[in-house]
Copies of this chain bind each other. A is one copy, B any other.
């Protein structure tokens, strides 16, 4: 991920302070932030960044294949910088925690030709649902933050 800016430069992206902080917030592979969470974190680094720019930048990163959109519920989409390693998601129904998981085999293989109805099938999203250990233990559901703890929590010097 740290060479994201290099890849973007190679695609002749105009490098602005706003795009830099959005990329910085998305640094780390195991985060699944909403657009507003990204906006809040970006604004901590660059106070006047606007919501529209965050949405614009995220949309461009998705179009470039650097970030994938994840819709686990009917709520806000989450933006996943772990786009270069196909994976699926395991979601806690209680607190919303999201974990990256890697099912065995090709998830597309389970759909026989007779069940494709002439579609050209190009992808599949698998969302496992359940209770995380904390919630199963009766812990009060912590705020649904979207982080999964493995993201690079860069402590300012």
Residues of A at the B interface (CB closer than 8 Å) are 69, 71, 73-74, 77, 90, 92-93, 99, 101-105, 107-108, 110-112, 115-133, 136
Contacts and interface: CB of A to CB of B under 8 A. Distances in A.
Given A90-B119, A125-B127, 17 more contacts: A90-B117, A90-B121, A92-B119, A103-B115, A104-B110, A108-B128, A110-B126, A117-B132, A118-B132, A118-B136, A119-B132, A120-B136, A121-B130, A122-B129, A123-B130, A124-B128, A125-B126
SS of A interface (majority): mixed
Contact of A123 (B103, B125, B128): B128
B104 A112 contact: yes
Number of copies: 2
Contact of A133 (B118, B125, B129): B118
A126 B129 contact: no
B122 A130 contact: yes
A101 B93 CA distance: 24
A130 B136 contact: no
Contact of A128 (B71, B74, B121): B121
A87 B121 CA distance: 17
Nearest to A72: B71
12 contacts: A71-B73, A90-B115, A92-B119, A101-B111, A103-B115, A105-B110, A110-B110, A117-B132, A117-B133, A120-B130, A124-B128, A124-B129
A101 B108 CA distance: 12
